[in-house]
Structure 1
Amino acid sequence: MNKHLHQTIFNKSRGLLMVVAENVASAGKTISGSRAPTSPKGWATLRPACFAILIAFGSVASLTKGAHAQIASDPGAPASQRPTIVEAGNGVPIVNIQTPSIAGVSRNIYSQFDVQQQGAILNNARNNVGTQLGGQIQGNPWLSGGSARVILNEVNSSNPSLLHGYVEVAGDRAQVIIANPAGVSCDGCGFVNASRSTLTSGTPIINGGSLEGYRVRGGIVRITGGGLDNASADYTDIIARAVEVNAGIWAQGLNVITGSNDVSLDVSQVTKADASGAAPLFGIDVAQLGGMYAGKITLIGTEAGIGVRNAGSIGASTGEAVVTTDGRLENRGTLYAKGDFKATVHGNIDNTGTLASQNNMTLTANGGNLTNSGGLIGANGNLTLASTGLDNQDGKVHVQGNIDIQVGNGRVDNTAGEIVAGGPLAMQANSIDNRDGRIQADDTVAIASHGQIDNTRGKLVAKSGTLILQDSNQAAKALSVTNTGGTVFAARKLTIDSKHLSGDGALLSQDDIEISLVEDYTHSGTLSASGTASVKSAGVISNAALMEAGGDLRLKAATIDNQSAGELKADRLMLVATGANTFTNRGLIDGRDTVIESDTVNNLGTGRIYGDHVAIGAATLNNAAENGVGAVIAARNRLDIGAQTITNTAQATVVSGGSLVLGGALDGTSKHAYGQADTVLNRGRMIGANVLIQTSTSIVNSGPQALIGATATTGSLELYADDIQNRDDETTTDTAPGASIYGMGKVILAGSKNADGSLNAATTVLNQSALLYSGGDMAISAATLTNTRRVLTTTSTFASAEQSSGSVYWTSTTPNVPGGRYVEPPMAAR
């Protein structure tokens, strides 16, 4: 339709004036098929010249205001800012926008701007043009100097603008702005041929014909019903004090900015301003039926305490999603980004829905907690989380990349929750509650806390890396780790550095375990390392379960107590009780090399100390029976005991399949015994293939079960002491010997042995009611040797005791009579 070949008629069915082609003089079919009435009486056909005059004086606007009351220019606005509103042939309103400024801004002021379902056209065409909503329309007479780059539609009204249909830009593409301080409501609205669209409750900031931005001090933009479709525009901006979304928004780049602000035209700058009036509950509120679907989404809320709530679906399908608010973020629906997802709030983040990103995710709750109770946080990239606390009860945090959780002095509650990373996981908090929960990484897990880590029935897992639990304040350790019924697993090294550790759970590593504690440690679960395991405590280590290592197992504490149910197993055991303290064993200790060092070593009752090589260094060793059960120290190859006082009670056993050596101390490198003990008292069994016992004072083999024996026929049994006693003080009859010193090979009894092999005499060698036997040679060097029997009387005194100072005296030569001498030649020495 040529802009100079038209007429204005009255459409009775619509109750308004319409501009139609000049050749339409009577009723005809509309697009919908209804009959359009002829022009009513009193309205003449307007010829082109008359119409041009009406336009020049703004008369068309006044005519069309009555004709189409949904869009009306503001009569109080300057003529250069009053658009003219006409209709297309199908009844769709056409807004002939005003002449743009030199900056390309067409400023149009309305008293009402409402769009019905049929839509509306903003005419940005200089010439006739085809449109999607109105078909072929005339060019806009106001655009003789060129089309607009920005079409600004300002509404001066106390009522919000109601948008129920599409707004189409006819002609050249342009940015479309609908600004109504009273608010905007969109129900099935959208934009066609708009490069950018903006719905705002702000007033435009104009400087010299340029639109610089928007001044927002109030108002709400609501998206309801049929939602907002602006998928064809590059950008969609919604700018208001508050935005309520109860339907879908479809866009490419979506920016939603709320609060009392001054916002730049491209929304890159947001300056907070003082707010007045009642504050909304949420700056951005997306209901359950609401949604935002865009390539990239940015949500900004600047009003303090006024946050963002989403119960619907917000998804950035190609780019990032950014949420920034001075209030809290509450999500009961889905927030998703194909790219990065970033949320920065000044308050709490409460998620019971889904927060997801195909790339990286950053969640920052400044001064607030992050709650993911029953919710899901997921990312294919990395997750960085910072807040004053994390509540993940029954929640899931699943990330393909790294996880970094920092809550400062706050608390991480992962009760029955899951925090799982495909890469490394780092967590720092004052306390961590992982009861019935799972904290896991395919790579390294590093957890730092200055309060408590509770892993009761929980799982702390580093599937292919190291796992570290440590106090965040190494200078003043206060961390307490509880692992009751829980599992702590590392594919590589497991490190626990804390004040306290307790629980009956499992501590597992396919590599090494290193535990450093300040307080007592009672182990009642499982500690197992494929490599080396080390447990250190400034207090007591008490073991009532299994500790094992494929390499070394090292325990170091003030006191070590391996209880009857305790098992210490490793290739090499290094068990050290420091200072003037005690090592006590009633359980099982077994290694290829077993080394025990303590001021006092007590191996009692059910205690079993095994090893290919067993070495015990102590001031005092007590290997004693308890409750009728004798303790055992047994070496498969060699047994070294370096101690000053060595006691082996009745029913107890000290045995070696190879050498048995008792001296005063252990060599620092080989852990072989050397030097002289002070005293050795044996009332049980001391047996080795070869036996060497050296003391500075005495060796006493006493009692009916007492045996010191050497089993190697080519070996030796050597006892060196100032006083050597082999006696039975308990047997009620002397018909057979009780105590025995029995060597299958050579037997030597003397005070000491020189480096050249010569012997120094003992002061006393006493063989009383006992057996002194050698299967090979026997050498005795003593100032006094007494071999006599004991007759037990009612007064328990000796009778017929015969001894010779400086000589050897035998009381009998009958082999089966105690105190006698029986020699089976050949013997080299007697």
Structure 2
Amino acid sequence: MNKNNYRLVFSGLRNMLVAVEETATGKEAGQSSQRRKEIQGVIFTLRQIAFAALMLLGVLPSWSSAQIVPAGPNAPGVIATQNGLPQVNINRPSGAGVSMNTYGQFDVQKNGAILNNSPTIVQTQQAGMINGNPNFGPGQSARVIVNQVNSSAASQINGRLEVAGQRAEVVIANGSGISVNGGGFINTSRAILTTGSPNFAPDGSLSGFNVTRGNISVQGAGLNAADIDQVDLIARAVQANAAIYAKNLNVVTGANSVNHDTLNATPIAGEGPTPGVSIDVSNLGGMYSNRIVLVGTENGVGVSTKGVLAAQAGDLILTTEGKLVLAGKTNASGSINVSARDGIENSGTTYAQQNVSATTSGTLTNSGVLAAQQNTTVNAGSAASTGTLGAGVNSDGTIANAGDLSISASGALMATGQNEAGGNTNISGASVNLAGSNTSANGTLALAASRGDLNVSGATTTAGGALMANAAGTLINDSGKMSGASVQATAANVSNRSGQLVSGSTLNVSAASGVSNQGGTMQSAGALAVNGGSLDNTAGRIVSLNGDGLNIASDALNNGTNGTIGTNGALNVHAGTLSNQGQLTAAGNAAVNAQSIDNHAGTITAGGALNVASPGAVNNRSGTLSGSTTTVAGSSIDNTNGDIEGDALAVSATGNIANQGGKLTQFGTADQAIQAGGTLDNTSGAIASNGNNLRIDGQTITNDKGNIQHAGTGTLAVNANGGLSNVAGNVLTNGALAARVAAHGVISRLISDRGMRVPTFCKMVSGANMACGTRQACRHR
């Protein structure tokens, strides 16, 4: 006989057509109905007795190899198909459509097995035509087929389990475990492999499972259920050492009461030792499905994946109450949502074509790739990433113009690898370490350390939009580069040693304690403001490139050697103490105000008005103060070997003015005044003015070897109530000379010649009387 060749004959016993071998014969349909029922009952009983006897003798039919052994109160009938496959004539379904079947053993060999869900002859893929199920009434079929195995051995599912007749949901439940090696399902709407005990509702429907023990393992030839709508693996633990294929795959692990319809899991007490890992996908393993949901509920029991998790037409959801290890390739055409109580470790590639969300109250570590084509969100107790965290990342690795990256940690956050977003990036933690990283956003980039330092030293931190950096401790950008369309940096301290803070528009730097810009650059295309308890700009550059101006406020400003603070607009400096051995420059006006000003060897210049003012001392020794209109005021002014100049010039001190070897120069014709409440010492110095009128006041004036030159045609007024010393000095005017001098009661006459365009060089020497020209005026005090 040709295998799998059958023909239909009429069975007198069953009063119906049946599929038989081609050599079999049938009976006519004229026998008595009562006789048929009697014979059917006797044969069915004899069949069960014979099968039991074979089991007692240890002799089973050759087709079975003892793979499917019915047992218990709901034992189904098991026969062989014409080609030798086990055919399970499942029990009549309940009113809820559930067929309950119990076994002492339930194994499916490589060539497969049949679950007969048809009351009539039906075609199957694996066994051809088979007879109808004698346990069914006309038109009857099961919606759910439960196969509960009560055994000390795990079920071996090494072939395909086919539902004959009406498509149905298939459940295999074995508390001792299930091993799959080449398993699959045919004509099945939903497949459930579980180590739990089935629970039933009062109406007979399957309500769920109680899982207290047992393991499901997939190995070798794997599990191919790609044509099944839904596959559920429900066990204390699941190991995938081979590929699992399904349309929708759900894995629920732990000791749980699991709802049949929703798969919601409620933890219950387990039996035996707690497994080390609840879901384990090895290097050779993988899960391929349209949508994947993995849930581990047991406290402290984690999930480890070294193989492939691929949600090929939907989302991937993975939740565990332990630690999650992602060491393989995890991807989804939809979104990836992972949550782990005890931490997440990603050393593989985790990528979603939509969004990625990773949540843990423990530590998230990443040495691989964690990225999404849309948004990526990380929320962790702490984070340590040396790999790539990305959003708006295309599958070829290029960055799009959308997709937000958010990394948040309640504790310390470290991300020293690549942190990239096509949209906005937000990184926050108690402390944040991005040292050496490449952190970027095409949109806004926000960095925040709520209780500690923000470290971007040696990093490249770039925003296409606004860049905002905030730290409760120190913002460290030493040797780093931070740039954005606008930049705002706020911290207790800002360290930008040899670093760069560059803005395409406004730049604002604020530090309650101090700003260190030694050898660093702070540069803006727009307005720039730096506020710090202290500011050290030794060899640094703080510059505003356009006319929006530069504002500096500091309790202690040190613009040390080779330091530059400059703007193409207005410059405003407010300081407690100012020490400038570098350059303060403004293309516009400049106002420098400090409790004390030390500009020795420094330069302060303005294209517009320059106003330098201090209630304390102004030290311009070997320094330069220059503006279109220059005003210098202090309790004392020391311009020894220095230059103070302007088109208009006003210099005043409530105390002394020292201009020894220095220059006080006015280039314009406006009236000029130099006023000292104490001594004006112009020894070897030069006071030169083109002003119409020049007034020089001092309690005492010393012009020894000095020059006072007035090129204006008005009056040079010299007032020295305490005396004037002009040893080898010159007092020159193109106008009138008016002097009010009391010098030890000795100098009694001052002479001026108005008629000379270039004035006579008059030498006024203490204790001598001078007479120059023909027109004289004398006032004695």
The question of a shared fold, defined as TM-score above 0.5 by the shorter chain, is answered with yes
- With over 3 angstroms needed to count, the CA separation of the structure-2 counterparts of 1:515 and 1:58, relative to structure 1, is farther
Is 1:716 aligned with 2:692?
Answer: yes
Q: Indicate if the aligned counterparts of 2:517 and 2:537 stay in contact, CA closer than 8 A.
A: yes
The answer for the alignment partner of 1:755 in structure 2 is none
Between the aligned partners of 2:379 and 2:47, the Cα distance in structure 1 is 60
Is 1:141 aligned with 2:134?
Answer: yes
Gaps of 5+ in 1: 9-18, 27-46, 472-478, 665-676, 729-737, 753-760, 787-800
User: 1:746 Cα deviation (Å)?
Assistant: 2.8
User: 1:546 Cα deviation (Å)?
Assistant: 0.8
The answer for the alignment partner of 2:664 in structure 1 is 686
The answer for the alignment partner of 2:117 in structure 1 is 124
The answer for the alignment partner of 2:463 in structure 1 is 462
Between the aligned partners of 2:194 and 2:490, the Cα distance in structure 1 is 56
The answer for the alignment partner of 1:643 in structure 2 is 634
The structure 2 residue matched to 1:725, chosen from 669, 685, 701, is: 701
Q: Root-mean-square deviation (CA), in Å? A: 3.1
The answer for the alignment partner of 1:36 in structure 2 is none
User: What residue identity is the alignment partner of 1:197?
Assistant: A
Gaps of 5+ in 2: 1-5, 26-35, 393-402, 765-769
Is 1:521 aligned with 2:481?
Answer: no
Is 1:561 aligned with 2:558?
Answer: yes
The answer for the alignment partner of 1:55 in structure 2 is 44
Between the aligned partners of 2:774 and 2:127, the Cα distance in structure 1 is 134
The DSSP-based 3-state class of the residue aligned with 2:135 is: helix
Q: Indicate if the aligned counterparts of 1:517 and 1:537 stay in contact, CA closer than 8 A.
A: yes
Q: Indicate if the aligned counterparts of 2:540 and 2:563 stay in contact, CA closer than 8 A.
A: yes
Could you list the per-position Cα deviations for residues 211-234 of structure 1 after superposition, in whole angstroms to 9, with x for gaps in the alignment? 111111111111111111111111
Task: Return the TM-score normalized by structure 2.
Answer: 0.86
The DSSP-based 3-state class of the residue aligned with 1:695 is: strand
- With over 3 angstroms needed to count, the CA separation of the structure-2 counterparts of 1:112 and 1:821, relative to structure 1, is farther
The DSSP-based 3-state class of the residue aligned with 1:55 is: helix
The farther-off stretch of 438-447 and 94-103 is: 438-447
User: 1:455 Cα deviation (Å)?
Assistant: 1.9
The structure 2 residue matched to 1:271, chosen from 253, 266, 272, is: 266
The structure 1 residue matched to 2:294, chosen from 299, 307, 330, is: 299
Between the aligned partners of 1:661 and 1:817, the Cα distance in structure 2 is 25
User: 1:485 Cα deviation (Å)?
Assistant: 0.9
The DSSP-based 3-state class of the residue aligned with 1:638 is: strand
The farther-off stretch of 143-152 and 816-825 is: 816-825
Between the aligned partners of 1:605 and 1:492, the Cα distance in structure 2 is 34
User: 1:504 Cα deviation (Å)?
Assistant: 2.4
- With over 3 angstroms needed to count, the CA separation of the structure-2 counterparts of 1:116 and 1:296, relative to structure 1, is same
Could you list the per-position Cα deviations for residues 319-351 of structure 1 after superposition, in whole angstroms to 9, with x for gaps in the alignment? 111111111101110222222211121101111
The DSSP-based 3-state class of the residue aligned with 1:439 is: strand
The answer for the alignment partner of 1:344 in structure 2 is 339
The DSSP-based 3-state class of the residue aligned with 2:61 is: helix
Q: Indicate if the aligned counterparts of 2:103 and 2:148 stay in contact, CA closer than 8 A.
A: yes
Is 1:659 aligned with 2:648?
Answer: yes
The DSSP-based 3-state class of the residue aligned with 1:54 is: helix
The structure 2 residue matched to 1:164, chosen from 119, 133, 158, is: 158
Q: Indicate if the aligned counterparts of 1:73 and 1:109 stay in contact, CA closer than 8 A.
A: no
Is 1:431 aligned with 2:424?
Answer: no
Is 1:602 aligned with 2:598?
Answer: yes
Between the aligned partners of 1:211 and 1:762, the Cα distance in structure 2 is 114
User: Share of identical aligned residues, percent?
Assistant: 28
The farther-off stretch of 561-570 and 129-138 is: 129-138
The DSSP-based 3-state class of the residue aligned with 2:446 is: strand
User: 1:198 Cα deviation (Å)?
Assistant: 0.5
- With over 3 angstroms needed to count, the CA separation of the structure-2 counterparts of 1:7 and 1:547, relative to structure 1, is farther
The DSSP-based 3-state class of the residue aligned with 1:772 is: strand
Is 1:744 aligned with 2:744?
Answer: no
Could you list the per-position Cα deviations for residues 690-729 of structure 1 after superposition, in whole angstroms to 9, with x for gaps in the alignment? 362243635625223x111124xxx42422425463522x
Is 1:85 aligned with 2:88?
Answer: no
User: 1:116 Cα deviation (Å)?
Assistant: 1.5
- With over 3 angstroms needed to count, the CA separation of the structure-2 counterparts of 1:562 and 1:614, relative to structure 1, is same
User: What residue identity is the alignment partner of 2:611?
Assistant: A
The answer for the alignment partner of 1:258 in structure 2 is 253
Q: Indicate if the aligned counterparts of 2:7 and 2:22 stay in contact, CA closer than 8 A.
A: no
The structure 1 residue matched to 2:180, chosen from 183, 186, 195, is: 186
The answer for the alignment partner of 1:790 in structure 2 is none
- With over 3 angstroms needed to count, the CA separation of the structure-2 counterparts of 1:339 and 1:608, relative to structure 1, is same
Between the aligned partners of 2:10 and 2:79, the Cα distance in structure 1 is 15
User: What residue identity is the alignment partner of 2:390?
Assistant: H
Could you list the per-position Cα deviations for residues 180-208 of structure 1 after superposition, in whole angstroms to 9, with x for gaps in the alignment? 11111111111111110011111111244
The structure 1 residue matched to 2:490, chosen from 487, 496, 507, is: 496
- With over 3 angstroms needed to count, the CA separation of the structure-2 counterparts of 1:622 and 1:52, relative to structure 1, is same
User: What residue identity is the alignment partner of 1:741?
Assistant: I
The answer for the alignment partner of 2:3 in structure 1 is none
The DSSP-based 3-state class of the residue aligned with 1:619 is: coil
The answer for the alignment partner of 1:613 in structure 2 is 609
The answer for the alignment partner of 1:21 in structure 2 is 20
Between the aligned partners of 2:695 and 2:657, the Cα distance in structure 1 is 10
The farther-off stretch of 170-179 and 209-218 is: 209-218
The farther-off stretch of 160-169 and 763-772 is: 763-772
User: What residue identity is the alignment partner of 2:632?
Assistant: I
Q: Indicate if the aligned counterparts of 2:67 and 2:109 stay in contact, CA closer than 8 A.
A: no
Could you list the per-position Cα deviations for residues 71-120 of structure 1 after superposition, in whole angstroms to 9, with x for gaps in the alignment? 66655423xx2222223333232222111111100111122211112111
Residue-pair matches, total: 723
- With over 3 angstroms needed to count, the CA separation of the structure-2 counterparts of 1:66 and 1:530, relative to structure 1, is same
The answer for the alignment partner of 1:239 in structure 2 is 234
Could you list the per-position Cα deviations for residues 20-66 of structure 1 after superposition, in whole angstroms to 9, with x for gaps in the alignment? 7154369xxxxxxxxxxxxxxxxxxxx99966743366538658952
The aligned runs of 1:281-680 (5 Å cut-off) are 281-366=276-361, 368-372=362-366, 374-393=367-386, 395-400=387-392, 401-408=403-410, 410-415=411-416, 417-449=417-449, 450-471=451-472, 479-499=473-493, 501=495, 503-524=497-518, 525-550=520-545, 551-570=548-567, 571-578=569-576, 582-592=577-587, 593-625=589-621, 630-635=622-627, 637-649=628-640, 651-656=641-646, 658-663=647-652, 677-680=654-657
The structure 2 residue matched to 1:107, chosen from 90, 97, 100, is: 100
User: 1:486 Cα deviation (Å)?
Assistant: 1.0
